[in-house]
Amino acid sequence: MDCNLKIMFWNVRGLNSDAKRSAVRSVISTASPSIVCLQETKLAHISDPLVLDTLGPQFEDFYFLPATGTRGVILLAWRRSEASISNPLIGENHITALVTPPNSMNHWWLTGVYGPQDDNAKLDLLADLQDVRASRIGPWLLGGDFNMITSTEDKNNSNLNHRVMSRFRRFIADEELRDMYLHGRRYTWSSERDSPTLVRNDRVLCTSGFQDAVHEGWNALPPDPDPFRRLVSRLKNTGRHLQRWSARTIGNVSLQLMVAREIIPRLDAAQDLRPLSSGEAWLRRRLKASYLGLASLERTIARQRVRLAWLRSDDASVPALKVHASHRKQRTYMASVQVGDRVISDHEGMAKAAYDHFTTILGTDTRREFTLDLTSFHVNSFDLLDLEAPFSEDEIW
């Protein structure tokens, strides 16, 4: 996915007035995005002059989902010089299209969403998005106004639909999506009353990149004629790509645990003396929840490094697992090999010596003076093609 493209998702709450379109154009001109996805334009039809008046002359191409009455509609527009968007799929509550940056063979899928109000329709939207993902391979970015939340922290009151909230979380987990962090704000929608209802309806989700990292690492190396070397090099390169992916998405688990252990006691001590602010209480809850997940992840990583099948989960602590892993790593380390009277200690030399040794054991294809004519043994041949045929009803019964 091209990280140089700037993408804007915005619920504009209608584009029916000239003043509103002028305000939207002013913001877009300042932000200068490459791709714009507007939700809730409340327009049954969008024309070229309207897009020109709202977005500016740079946005020449666009797709749109018509409104139903005064609700809905999505407008997806882009700068032709910075991206190419094709293969649109216009659903009932979303637009999905293929994005290809200029002078690049890499492409990814973009989905703009405007979620319905009805709870059953929200579940239908999630099922529709799952079908979209099942038929499209590659990186996926979807954003917009989902009209759904993932946790109680996304709303400032207790009027919640836990069934829809749980299904939305399950959808994000099943599709292995990452919820992009919202900088500087907690909510994205307000009822605009004296005591407003505040909700985070808008969000941006994207694929985590695990499959992309595996694909890139496996196919990054040039082909090797030797199948054994090819398999080993591909596995090593894929492992390195996954380590870099893990560092970007998860980070240093031990360091994050140390930070949480430092901040949580300070917040607990402050709570003994005064009530915590809403931001401090939110941070304390998030740190405690993250600490449990990170501690479980750290233990899982340590157990995988040890590879002691006989060791049960409650038989050792994380430090003990790390000691076993360190001992195992030292035991499997090969400092040098001896070939005849010569001792080889450099990595490339040892790899070549091992390759030559096992090549000699496996043998090589050499020209033979005599061969056997197997047809002269008059061995009866059998037609086994019938074995691949499906069982008949008589054979089953």
CA distances from 277 to 181, 238, 296 (A): 21, 46, 29
User: pTM here?
Assistant: 0.58
- Are residues 282 and 155 in contact, defined by beta-carbon separation less than 8 angstroms? no
Residue 210 sits at φ, ψ, to 5 deg, of -65, -50
Report pLDDT for 94.
92
What is the token pair recorded at 95? 């637009």
Hey, which residues does 177 pair with through a beta bridge? 207
Question: DSSP H helical segments within 14-61, as ranges?
Answer: 18-31, 48-55
Residues of the chain where predicted confidence (pLDDT) is lower than 70? 1-4, 68-72, 104-105, 209-211, 248-250, 300-333, 363-364, 396-397
Report pLDDT for 177.
87
Write the CATH number of the domain with boundaries 7-208.
Answer: 3.60.10.10
Report pLDDT for 147.
92
- Looking at residue 284, its amino acid is R
Helices (H) and strands (E) in the chain, counts: 11, 14
Report pLDDT for 37.
93
- d(CA 328, CA 243) in angstroms, rounded, equals 20
- d(CA 150, CA 129) in angstroms, rounded, equals 16
Report pLDDT for 397.
60
Task: List every span in the chain annotated with CATH 3.60.10.10.
Answer: 7-208
Hey, which residues does 63 pair with through a beta bridge? 76
Report pLDDT for 8.
92
CA distances from 58 to 29, 43, 87, 329, 387 (A): 10, 21, 21, 58, 64
Report pLDDT for 110.
92
